Amino acid sequence: MATTTPMTTPASTGTTDGTVPAADPDDTAPREAASRRRTFAVISHPDAGKSTLTEALALHGGAIGQAGIVQGKGGRRGVVSDWLEMEKARGISITSAALQFTYRDRVVNLLDTPGHADFSEDTYRVLTAVDSAVMLVDAAKGMERQTVKLFEVCRLRGLPIVTVVNKWDRPGREALELLDEFAEVTGMTPTPVLWPVGIGGDFRGLLDLRPGTAPDAAYIAFDEGSGGATRTTWTPLSLEEGLARDGEVLTTAQEEVELVLDSNGPHDEASFRAGRTTPVMFAAAVLNRGVEQLLDLLVDTAPPPADRPAQDGGVRSVGDAFSGQVFKVQAGMDAAHRDHVAFIRVSSGRFQRGETVLNARTGKPVGTKYAHRVFGGSRTGVEDAWPGDVVAIVNATGVRVGDTLYAGRKVAYPPIPTFAPEHFAVCRAKDLGRYKQFQRGITELHHEGVVQTLRSDLRGEPAPVLAAVGPMQFDVVQHRMAGEFGCEVLLEPLPYSIARRTTAEHAPLLDAVPGVEVLRSLDGDVFALFPDRWRLQRIERENPDVVLDALAADSLA
């Protein structure tokens, strides 16, 4: 990508060549700030403990004073990252959450994600905004279907993966068996870094195999009775001291480690960052056991933000002027003001509150006066941010998921793919007198990415078709339309299961085929809906020139 010198025109107007003044011509500050940041997502199959681990990491990072759990009981409150009423009621995460805290001398940006497959599109968007991932695996269930899919998504995006076997405080499978399954299912080599002492349900401590561990602190022995809502306390012991304390149990763990190291080798930083290996550790997030060690592992080994490829084939340097990509849009975070919040991962340069930046898609300026750092459902004002940070801009007019915002030399990052919907339903307002609220709500939920909204002249404006990856997205629509927009809606399922992008030129031909319907999204794309794969394949054979493109993320949905 060619380098141009930003013109010194007013930031609010931009320039004819798409540049706005760069606030930081010197790239030293953003590069130094980026080197101190670790931005990662926690991902897994539902019920593996993601939100509980997120809470425990925030506790150990000093961001909160007491950790909650999902569906808290016995005095434990709910988790901070699950702030929507529907999340609290169902005990699941249905939207991503961004948390930031400082640990040691590093700034940690932690993104929690939904685990349920119906919300996998939200998880995919988060993975475009991070530099590594923590894959959480249930000690009793191992590699579940959604876990395997997420491993593949991370690999396709080139994200290094740290694997955490969670719930070791409960009876589960053997550690060696789990590692064998990881290798077989993912094709990656699991390398042990923190090995459990004691079987599942008898979690006494961790053998520390991280590079540089001193022999006199090779055994992390958890203190009895510590953990839960507060930090777990532990004692560093030499192996000799550990044998005196836990004897045969520690000896068994040492023998297991020897077998794994002989087979898989030790942790290697280059192989980990290249995606060939995944460091493995064991934890019990609900007891906060292993959480501090996970934070240390991420700070020491996870990659910092790096230069990022642009859509035109060039590269945007971390030290260049500000740029960032919108990976999430959320309405209704402040019910009193009906705000519209755009979450931006800073990719380069320094973000400064109040600076006017440009939207690469529209060419229009975007104000940043109301910039915040969001912690679950709460927020605080932020003056500046650096590569790797997540900034929430309130009432960012005209901004959508995937948009690139920038200052200085124009840049646009590759768009975030849309998943292929498999569930479709006609949506109508229960009370026709609430039609304005209905229109506003459906439009906002579409631009947030909660569902895709499709329309046709035949069905008319009052009866849009909602398209979703999973049926639980429809539950979210009904809940939020009633609670946030004051408009209850009725949904009528449609007999379609496949969507393909087509063109306005081919729409009449497809619309004339029995069982096929053509609609247009609010973004202007034309989609043909099919009841089954057989009908689609038949049309493709009989009309080879008709455009029927699968969505970019079709194979991952």
User: What pLDDT was estimated at residue 134?
Assistant: 94
Q: Give per-residue pLDDT as tens, 223-273.
A: 887 666 788 889 999 999 999 999 999 999 999 999 999 999 999 999 999
Question: How many structural domains compose the chain?
Answer: 3
The answer to whether the CB of 104 falls within 8 A of the CB of 96 is: no
CA 379 to chain centre: 19
User: What pLDDT was estimated at residue 67?
Assistant: 47
Helix (H) or strand (E) holding 443: helix 435-448
Q: Which pair of tokens denotes residue 92?
A: 């699941």
In a domain, 363, yes or no: yes
Domain residues for the domain of 254 are 40-301
> DSSP of 206-244, one letter per residue?
EEE-STT--GGG-EEEEPTT--TTSPPPEEEE-HHHHHH
d(CA 482, CA 141): 37
Q: Give per-residue pLDDT as tens, 390-441.
A: 999 988 878 888 999 999 999 999 988 777 888 999 999 999 899 999 999 9
Confidence grade of residue 46 (pLDDT, cut at 50, 70, 90): confident
| Same domain, residue pair 324 and 288 | no
**Any alpha helices (H) in 158-290, and if so which ranges?**
175-186, 239-264, 269-273
| Same domain, residue pair 266 and 225 | yes
Beta-strand runs (E) in 311-432: 315-316, 323-331, 340-348, 351-352, 357-359, 365-366, 371-375, 378-381, 384-385, 390-394, 404-406, 423-429
Distance set, CA 22 to CA 5, 13, 54, 305, 410 (Å): 9, 14, 35, 20, 11
Q: Which pair of tokens denotes residue 518?
A: 């053509």
Q: Give me the phi and psi of 109, to 5 degrees please.
A: -110, 110
High-pLDDT (> 90) share of the chain, %: 59
> DSSP of 394-410, one letter per residue?
ET-TT--TT-EEESBS-
| Same domain, residue pair 320 and 466 | no
| Same domain, residue pair 331 and 266 | no
In a domain, 258, yes or no: yes
In a domain, 17, yes or no: no
**CATH number of 75's domain:** 3.40.50.300
pLDDT at residue 25 tops 80:
no
User: What pLDDT was estimated at residue 203?
Assistant: 96
List 166's β-bridge partners, or say none.
138
| Same domain, residue pair 148 and 286 | yes
User: What pLDDT was estimated at residue 494?
Assistant: 96
Length of the chain: 557
Average pLDDT over residues 133-157: 87
Which amino acid type is present at position 5? T
Binding site listing: 112-116
d(CA 37, CA 60): 17
Is the model more confident about 82 or about 29?
29
The answer to whether the CB of 119 falls within 8 A of the CB of 87 is: no
**CATH number of 451's domain:** 3.30.70.3280
User: What pLDDT was estimated at residue 319?
Assistant: 95
| Same domain, residue pair 58 and 183 | yes
User: What pLDDT was estimated at residue 267?
Assistant: 93
Q: Give per-residue pLDDT as tens, 169-180.
A: 999 999 999 999
Q: What is the DSSP letter of 556?
A: G
Binding site listing for GTP: 112-116
d(CA 522, CA 158): 32
| Same domain, residue pair 360 and 401 | yes
| Same domain, residue pair 48 and 86 | yes
What's the N-to-C CA distance of the chain in angstroms?
33
What mean pLDDT value characterizes the chain? 85
